[in-house]
Amino acid sequence: MPRRVRPKFPEKWRVPNDPKLWITWEHANDKLARETVYWVSTASRLGRSHAAPVWGVWKQNRFYFETAPNSVKGRNLLSNQSIVVHIQDGNDAVILEGTARREKRAETLNRLRKDYSSKYEYTPDW
C-alpha cells in the first residue's frame, strides 16, 4: 500500500494535519483510474526538471504511460528513473512519487493496448 504524506503548509491555510482527515487510498485510487490526462515530471541526470501531460492507465497500483525514447521524458528516464505523476485536479490532488521502469512483459503490454484502446480510442504500437 502506498504511503500517504502531507506536504508542509502554513497554518493559516487550515489544511488538516490529522491523517484521519486526509483522502483515503481508495479515493486516490479511484481518481487515478478515472483520470484521462496525467502530468509526468522527470529530471535529467544533472537535475534539470521537465513536466509534460500524458495519457496513461492506472492499474493495480501502477501507472503506465508511453513516451518516445528520444523525447525529453524518455532521455531523462534513461539516466534518472525518478518520476512524479499527478492528476490535473489541484483542488483534490493526488501526487505519486516513485521510480519508473520500462515494461517489457508481452502479456502486460497486450493488456495495456486494450486498456488504452477502450480509454482513448487509440492503440499504442509498442
CATH number at residue 32: 2.30.110.10
Which pTM was predicted? 0.87
Instruction: Give the chain's domain count.
Output: 1
Write down the pLDDT at residue 14.
83
What residue numbers bound the domain in which 21 lies? 11-120
Residue 126 forms part of a structural domain: no
Question: Coil, helix or strand for 87?
Answer: strand
Evaluate whether residue 28 is within a structural domain. Answer: yes
pLDDT tens-digit map of 93-108: 999 999 999 999 999 9
pLDDT given at position 47: 92
pLDDT over 70 at 1, yes or no: no
* Residue 39 placed within a domain: yes
Indicate whether 85 belongs to any domain. yes
Is 79 inside a domain boundary?
yes
Rounded Cα gap, residues 38 and 57, in angstroms = 9
**Does any domain span residue 2?**
no
**Whether residue 6 has pLDDT greater than 80:** no
pLDDT (tens digit per residue) in 28-74: 999 999 999 999 999 999 999 999 999 999 999 999 999 999 999 99
Measure the CA–CA gap between 122 and 108, rounded to whole angstroms. Answer: 17
Task: Evaluate whether residue 3 is within a structural domain.
Answer: no
4 found inside a domain: no
Which residue reads 496525467 in cell numbers? 38
